[in-house]
Chain A
Amino acid sequence: GENVEQHPSTLSVQEGDSAVIKCTYSDSASNYFPWYKQELGKGPQLIIDIRSNVGEKKDQRIAVTLNKTAKHFSLHITETQPEDSAVYFCAASLGGWVNQFYFGTGTSLTVIP
C-alpha cells in the first residue's frame, strides 16, 4: 500500500518568515495530494490540494509543489503569522470519488511572534 513520509516533525519560524514542509509517497498511482491543517482538539481542515496533472498551485500565502518523478510534494507558507501555528498533515490518495487517504505523520508548526 501507499506510504507517506513527512518532514520535519516540528518546525519553528519567526513571524514573517517562510515555512516549508515536505512529503514523499511510494505509490506512483497516487494522483491527489491534499494538505490539512489541524488545530488542537479539532478535525483536519483542507487548506490546499494538488492533482498529479499539475506541478504547482498557489492560494495567497500558501503554495504546494509536486514532483511526480521524484514522488514528493511540498507545502510552502510565506509571510507566516502566529495563527498559522498548528499541525499540518500531507496526504496521498488514488483519487476518484471514493478514495482512501494515506496521511503523513504530521508537522507541528510554531510561528514565533
Chain B
Amino acid sequence: GAVVSQHPSWVICKSGTSVKIECRSLDFQATTMFWYRQFPKQSLMLMATSNEGSKATYEQGVEKDKFLINHASLTLSTLTVTSAHPEDSSFYICSAPQPLNTEAFFGQGTRLTVV
C-alpha cells in the first residue's frame, strides 16, 4: 500500500522554541494532507487540512499562527509548532488520501515533548 512517512518520530524541545514536523507521501502525489493531534488515551483530533499551493484550512479552535502549515510540493507538507509550550506536548499525526481512492494513509506520528 501507499506509504506516508513522518519525521521526526520524536522530538524534545525547550519552551519557546519552534519545531518542524515533516510529512511525505513516498509513492504518490498528495494535493491534500491532514494533520491530527492525539493526546494520551484520546482519539485523533483534526487540526488542519493542508492544501498544496494554497493556504491550509484550520479547524475551529486551532491557532493558525501557532501551527504553521506549508504544503509546498505534491509530496511534502510541514507542520511547524511555533513558540512551543508544555501544553503543546502531544502526538502529531499526518495523513494523506491516495488519489482516486477513498483510503487515507497515516504517518507513523511524531511525539513532541516541550520542556
Write the residues of chain A forming the contact surface with B, with a CB cutoff of 8 angstroms: 32, 34, 36, 41-46, 49, 51, 89, 93, 95-101, 103-106, 108
Interface size classification for chain B: 20 to 34
| A43 and B43 contact, Cβ closer than 8 Å, known pairs A51-B102, A97-B97, A97-B102 | no
A residues near B97, Cβ cutoff 8 Å: 97-99
Minimum Cβ distance to chain A for residue B54 (Å): 13
Q: List 15 A-B contacts (CB under 8 A).
A: A32-B102, A43-B93, A43-B106, A43-B108, A44-B93, A46-B1, A46-B104, A93-B102, A96-B102, A97-B100, A97-B101, A100-B46, A101-B34, A105-B42, A106-B43
Minimum Cβ distance to chain A for residue B9 (Å): 8
Taking a contact as CB atoms under 8 Å apart, the answer to whether A41 and B43 are in contact is no
Write the residues of chain B forming the contact surface with A, with a CB cutoff of 8 angstroms: 1, 6, 31-32, 34, 41-46, 49, 91, 93, 95, 97-109, 111
The distance in angstroms between the C-alpha atoms of A32 and B103, with both chains bound, is 9
